[in-house]
Amino acid sequence: MIPAAFEYKRPMSLEEAIRYLAERGSDARVLAGGQSLIPAMRYRLAQPAVLVDINQLPNLRYMQQEGGMLTMGALVRDTDVEFDKNIQSRYHLISDVSRVVADPIVRYRGTVVGSLCHNDPSGDWPAAALAARAQLVIQGSRGSRVESIDDFIVDSFTTSVGEGELVVEVQFPIPSARTSGAYEKIERKVGDFATAAAAIQIELTEAGMIKDVGVAVTAVAQKPLRVAEAENILRGEKPTLDLIRAAAAEAAKIADPNPDARGSAAYKKDMARVLVGRGLIKTLGRLGVVVA
């Protein structure tokens, strides 16, 4: 199908983009990489009256480390992340994710921020952002605000971005030398959305105890989920196999998946457990810890 008719705006400044969005309210949608919005329009699942294409906005395709944060502008593509040497060496969770989102063609256009804004219940970036405790900078005509990923993710395909607003950047805390992470995803074939996936980030103390931990799952509920009980079980403890088993079991408890062509609800629930366990073991391995 071809999309319903729409107006197309191509602002050259952030102010102009926000003005269009504010003027047209719920009729307007931001167009970033178009990898989710355009298919949705073609299937007539979305029929925005106005598209505000942000691809010409200056200075939104950057990645920089400042103030303890890695910041990524709204036009950073998945491939920018995938091939960045600093990401590959320091940001293990983010690097893992950047290699398994969709396929190379989609990753060449799709943006990290666009994926977060789309907030697909099976999206890879929202789970990673939860585990890494990311935050987003949202800009509107009355100024900007910073929102934690937990507050940003509201429901399936729904975020806290209001009418007349857009996200200008996502910020990830810079990991310490004793921090690592991993992303475990099962998919039917390369390029598919997850059947289930788990995002993990762990920071150890000098003595090898778990100082902080992020655990999130995707494709197993109405929205990507933080597994807070797993984090509570792990935080402050010495990593052991029993502890990992107990934490991973929490993922199955809160998973509430829909059965579909990718698997039954019972299978996906169990995969949430398995993938959290695998992700924890892989992350600890990357930190030089072999659990027994």
Ligand X SMILES: Cc1cc2nc3c(=O)[nH]c(=O)nc-3n(C[C@H](O)[C@H](O)[C@H](O)COP(=O)(O)OP(=O)(O)OC[C@H]3O[C@@H](n4cnc5c(N)ncnc54)[C@H](O)[C@@H]3O)c2cc1C
Positions that interact with ligand X (CB under 6 A): 29-37, 39, 74, 101-102, 106, 109-111, 113-115, 117-118, 120, 123-125, 161, 166-167, 191, 193
Axis-axis angle for helices 265-286, 241-254 (nearest 10): 140
The helix or strand, by DSSP H or E, that contains position 213, with its residue range, turns out to be strand 210-218
Distance between CA atoms of residues 62 and 70, nearest Å: 10
Nearer to ligand X, 11 or 239 (CB): 11
CB of 174 to ligand X, least distance (A): 22
Considering the complex, what minimum distance in angstroms separates the CB of residue 73 from ligand X? 9
**How far apart are the C-alpha atoms of 113 and 206, rounded to whole Å?**
34
User: Measured from the CB atom, is 77 or 287 closer to ligand X?
Assistant: 77
Residue closest to 141 by CA, chosen among 17, 288, 4:
17
User: Among residues 220, 223, 290, which one has the least CA distance to residue 258?
Assistant: 220
The region, left, alpha or beta by phi > 0 then psi within -120 to 50, assigned to residue 133 is left
Give me the residues paired with residue 77 across strands: 111
- For ligand X, the closer of residues 123 and 239 by Cβ is 123
CB-wise, 115 or 180, nearer to ligand X?
A: 115
Please report, as a single letter, which amino acid is at residue 134: A
Helix (H, G, I), strand (E, B) or coil at 183: strand
Rank residues 48 and 277 by Cβ distance to ligand X and give the closer one: 48
- As given in the structure block, the two tokens for residue 106 are 């989609």
Closest distance to ligand X from the beta carbon of 266 (Å): 23
Min dist CB 205 to ligand X, Å, is: 33
Name residue 244's amino acid. I
- Asked if 162 and 140 count as a contact pair (C-beta separation under 8 A), the reply is yes
Which run of H or of E encompasses 31?
strand 28-31
Cα(first)–Cα(last) distance of the chain, in Å? 55
- Output 101 or 221, the one with its CB closest to ligand X: 101
By C-beta, is 197 or 248 nearer to ligand X?
Answer: 197
In the bound complex, what is the minimum distance in angstroms from residue 191's beta carbon to ligand X? 6
Q: Report in angstroms how near the CB of residue 166 gets to ligand X at its nearest.
A: 4
The minimum distance between CB 21 and ligand X, in angstroms, equals 9
Per DSSP, 25 falls in state G
